[in-house]
A and B are shown apart, each in its own frame.
Chain A
Amino acid sequence: MISKAFLLGIIEMVDKDGLEETTDWLQRIGIKLAEIEGPGFEGARENDVNYIPLCPFSNILLDFIQMYGERPSQFTELVNLSNRKMKEAEDGWKYPALTTVTGILYHSYTRKRAELAGVELLNVGAKCPRTHNNVYNEKALERAGMNKEEVDKYLERSYYVSKIQYPDKE
């Protein structure tokens, strides 16, 4: 019940305080969770590439969308806003290649945990658990020195691909 309540809470939050506030709220939750967990990386690792074989929160999210009857428009708007910023912002590499609303929280969580470990995590691509479409972060790809074909290989067996960027390698 608490997971459904949280997802409904996101919808309510968008209606009440708008997209920017809700995005900020989700990011702050992710950062606080990361501070509780400490430095680290989830999922699998191959050299400097970190990938997540199972989509975080996807079961809960897909169940919720089924229950709700459709993908809530508030979720779509949050994802679109984030991806627009990713493309337009000068430091667009900091944003997630977003496919789901929960990715906002998850991205700030993983990035913060990586930051605590002394590295930067660049989310170069992600796969939507609902449509199976791939989304890429072009600026992160460029910064990571990777191309879409390389990312696709990981996305065939995962949902979220990031490059671990060590400070001394930049």
Chain B
Amino acid sequence: MNLIEAERLYENSVKILKNNQHEKGGFYASPPGTRYPFIYPRDHSIDILGCIAADMMDEAKKGLEFVLNSQKPLGEFSQRYDVDGNDASYKDLQIDGNGLVLYSTGKYFEATGGMFFEKLADKKFVEKHWETISKAVDFILMNKNEEVDLVHTINSIHEYPAYEHGFEIYANCACCAGIQAAVKMGAALGKDVTTWEMEAEKIKEAILTRMYSPRRRSFIKCIRVKEKNSNPIGYDAFASSVIDVDVVEYAPAYFGIIEQQDIKNRYTVRRIHENLWDKEIGGLNRYPEMWGRNNGGYGPWCHFTCQLASHYTAIDDQDMAEMYLGWVVDMAHNYLLPEHISTIERFEMWLEDYTNAKILRDSKLTMIENVRKHPKWKDGMAYVTIPLIWPHAEYIRAYKDYIEKFG
């Protein structure tokens, strides 16, 4: 890996985070005038984690203030908000947002304390937002199925109900880790959080047993269930399992529910690498091509590649960490990272599929135009939505992990 280029990409990623935070605190998913000029709690939470990794604590706090103040009356953090914090979502429930907001709040709280936690941790901030934190946990538990102790959602990280409606791995891990974070924050403030602690433990146990396939040696993507309160779930209209490989099957370790070294995680990552590492252009795809929702053409995603780079760093596999992180560095264009990368052939294939099926929405037209006019198009590559802020935040985290261990 070219370490000088890697460092430059890190420096620009820090700038990107700073430049894409609205004055009211929200991080744009992509800069105004591009594809996603809204604040998505999922992206926003990872941006906050990026700020924490880059020691931008004021920005992290401002981001948390924004999102915590945007909570809906029932305790939900919805798909997206406008810059004023008004709900602007167009999709059904994506409960991982609740988990992520809690998880990033917990990480901020931990980071403010550091080695002198008792004295320095920002307890005032957590106390100020305690009611919001409580409502966020309650909302998660409101969506937990009592038969299997898993959290129900309609959408998760890919916003793709066909494969995510039910008990989905990323949503469950985010929510479990979110409740665990709330438990830690509550304990530090002297609150009684024993019920939450027990509920988080039940969800963790269910993830490790119901969502792990010993024969496949991998976590699985989703237990499809239509209704959250189905009991018994075996009679639910959707009852089935999604056992295809998905990059977010790495979520239990990503959220610290299990150790990176845990054999379940290492086998899962091996399956992800074998099936989703792109053999033509490198980088990590998010799910199998045949799932068919390949906006802009099937291809690898920078932020998922960064996540797995951190895994390899954590297990001391420098060769693989370098291969993953080095690919991200190589793919950056003017130190900017796209959402994902495809080839012209794959891009045109997707366009044909969506045009023929008449499912090409108006909102995609700008994206298509931007992909075709990007300088990388002449190199045979389709750079989709550049820059996206999320991969810059993940890159900051992965780069810091790598440099701290191998630098």
Interface residues of A (CB under 8 A from B): 35-45, 53, 113, 117, 157
Contacts and interface: CB of A to CB of B under 8 A. Distances in A.
B244 interface: no
A37 B73 contact: yes
B363 A40 contact: no
Contacts of B90: 42-44
Interface in B348-398: 361-363
Given A40-B89, A44-B363, A157-B362, A117 B84 contact: yes
B73 A40 contact: no
Nearest to B37: A45
Nearest to B78: A40
B142 to A, nearest CB: 13
**Looking at A36, A43, A117, which has the most chain B CB atoms within 10 Å of its CB?**
A117
7 contacts: A37-B87, A40-B72, A41-B86, A41-B88, A44-B90, A44-B363, A53-B362
Contacts of B361: 53
B159 interface: no
Given A41-B82, A44-B363, A157-B362, A36 B73 contact: yes
Given A44-B363, A157-B362, A37 B72 contact: yes
A42 B92 CA distance: 11
Interface in B268-300: none
Contacts of A40: 72, 78, 86-89
B4 interface: no
A149 B74 CA distance: 40
Contacts of B78: 40
Contacts of A53: 361-362
A43 B79 CA distance: 12
Contacts of A35: 73
Interface residues of B, number: 15
Contacts of B85: 39
Contacts of B363: 44
A3 to B, nearest CB: 15
A43 B82 CA distance: 12
Contacts of B87: 37-41, 113
A44 B88 CA distance: 8
Given A40-B86, A44-B90, 10 more contacts: A36-B74, A37-B87, A38-B73, A39-B85, A40-B78, A43-B90, A44-B363, A117-B84, A117-B86, A157-B362
B362 A39 contact: no
Nearest to B87: A40
B97 to A, nearest CB: 14
User: Sorted from nearest, which 4 A-B pairs have the closest CB atoms?
Assistant: A40-B87, A117-B86, A38-B72, A38-B73
A81 to B, nearest CB: 31
A122 B288 CA distance: 44
Interface in B70-112: 72-74, 78, 82, 84-90
B40 to A, nearest CB: 14
Nearest to B73: A38
B26 to A, nearest CB: 14
A91 to B, nearest CB: 24
A36 B84 CA distance: 19
Contacts of B86: 39-41, 117
Contacts of B82: 41, 45
Nearest to B80: A40
B171 to A, nearest CB: 21
B336 to A, nearest CB: 26
B173 to A, nearest CB: 27
B72 A45 contact: no
A41 B84 CA distance: 12
A45 B89 CA distance: 11
**Looking at A37, A40, A41, A45, which has the most chain B CB atoms within 10 Å of its CB?**
A40
A105 B261 CA distance: 54
A10 B74 CA distance: 28
A41 B78 CA distance: 12
Interface in B232-254: none
